[in-house]
Amino acid sequence: MENTVLYSLDDRHVATITYNRPDELNRINGDFRRDVNEAWNRFREDEDAWVAIVTGAGEAFCAGADFKEGGGAGTWPGSFWEIPTVNSFESGMEIWKPIIAAVNGVCQGYGLTGALACDFIIAAQSATFGFQEVRKGISTANGAMRLPGKVGWQYAMEMLLTGDMIDADRALEIGLAGWVVPDDELMDAAQHLAGRLLQGAPLAQRAVKEMAWRGQRLPWVDSLRMGETMRRVVRATDDAQEGIAAFMEGRDPRWTGR
Per-residue tens of pLDDT for the chain, all 258 residues: 679 999 999 999 999 999 999 999 999 999 999 999 999 999 999 999 999 999 999 999 999 999 886 655 555 667 777 777 788 898 889 999 999 999 999 999 999 999 999 999 999 999 999 999 999 999 998 999 999 999 999 999 999 999 999 999 999 999 999 999 999 999 999 999 999 999 999 999 999 999 999 999 999 999 999 999 999 999 999 999 999 999 999 999 999 999
Looking at the structure of the chain, the number of domains it has is 2
In a domain, 258, yes or no: no
Output the pLDDT for position 2: 79
Name the percent of the chain in helix, strand, coil, to the closest 5. Answer: 50, 15, 35
Output the pLDDT for position 67: 83
Residues 118 and 224 in one domain: no
> For residue 241, what are the contacts with CB-CB under 8 A and spacing of at least 6?
none
> For residue 163, what are the contacts with CB-CB under 8 A and spacing of at least 6?
130, 131, 132, 133, 134, 135
Residues 212 and 241 in one domain: yes
For position 90, which CATH number holds?
Answer: 3.90.226.10
Please say which residue of 197, 212, 233 terminates a domain. 197
Residues 189 and 237 in one domain: no
In a domain, 256, yes or no: no
In a domain, 255, yes or no: no
Output the pLDDT for position 145: 94
pTM of this structure: 0.94
Output the pLDDT for position 72: 53
Range of the domain at 212: 202-249
The H or E element that residue 114 is part of is helix 110-116
In a domain, 254, yes or no: no
Output the pLDDT for position 71: 53
In a domain, 17, yes or no: yes
Residues 245 and 171 in one domain: no
In a domain, 10, yes or no: yes
In a domain, 65, yes or no: yes
